Amino acid sequence: MRSLSDLYVGQLRPAMLLLCGAVALLLLLAIVNSAHTFAARMHARQGRIALQLALGAPPGRLMAGLFGRSLLLSLLGAALGLAIAAASVDLLWRGLGDTLPEWMQIELATGPVLAILALAVLASALASALPMRRLAEVDPATCLQDGGQRSMGSPRERRQQRAMLAVQVALALVLVGVGAQFALDALRAHTHPSGFASESRLSFRVALPWAKYDSRTDATSRFYDQLGSELSALPGVQHAAWGERVPATDERAAAGSGAGVDLRLPDEPERPLPWRPRTNRVSEGYFEALGITLVAGRDFTPEDKLETPQVAIVSHELALRLWPDRDPIGAQLLLPEALEGAGETVTVIGIADDVRYDLSQAQTAPTLYRPVRQRPNANLYVVVSHQGPPPTDAQLRSAMAKVDPEQSLYELTSMAALRDRQLWQSSLLAQLLSALAVCAWILVAIGLAGLSRLWAVQRRRDMAVRAALGASASRLYRDSLGEVLRVLGWGIAIGLPLLNQCSGAAGLKAYWPKCATLCGLPSP
Tell me 504's DSSP state: S
Pick the closest to residue 12 from 104, 87, 95, 98 (CA basis).
104
Residue 363, pLDDT score: 75
Residues 222-266: pLDDT tens digits?
Answer: 999 999 999 999 999 999 999 998 988 765 444 444 457 777 777
> Would you state the torsion angle of the CA atoms of residues 273, 279, 285, 288, taken in this order, to the nearest 10 degrees?
-70
Digit-by-digit pLDDT tens for the chain (524 residues) are: 777 777 666 667 777 777 888 888 888 877 777 777 776 666 666 667 667 767 777 777 777 777 777 788 888 888 888 888 888 887 777 766 666 666 777 777 888 888 888 888 887 777 777 666 666 555 555 555 554 444 445 666 677 777 777 877 887 888 788 777 777 777 777 777 888 988 899 999 999 998 888 766 688 889 999 999 999 999 999 999 999 989 887 654 444 444 577 777 777 777 777 788 888 999 999 999 999 999 999 999 999 888 889 999 999 999 998 888 889 999 988 877 644 445 678 999 999 999 988 787 767 888 999 999 988 888 899 999 999 899 999 999 999 999 999 999 988 998 888 887 777 777 777 878 888 888 888 888 877 777 777 677 667 777 777 778 887 877 777 777 777 788 788 888 887 777 776 655 334 444 344 444 434 444 44
Give the angle 521-522-524 at the CA atoms, nearest 5°.
105
Decide: 235 and 384 in contact? Cβ < 8 Å.
no
Q: Which residues contact 408 (CB under 8 A, 6 or more apart)?
A: 397, 400
| pTM for the full predicted model | 0.65
Distance of CA 287 to the CA centre of its chain: 30
Q: Are 264 and 334 in contact (CB under 8 A)?
A: yes
The total of other beta-carbon atoms located within 10 Å of residue 33's CB is 23
Quick check: helix, strand or coil at residue 206? strand
Of residues 378, 402, 460, 39, the one with CA closest to residue 233? 402
CA 289/CA 291 separation, integer angstroms: 6
Q: Which of 88, 26, 16, 27 is nearest to 436 (CA)?
A: 26
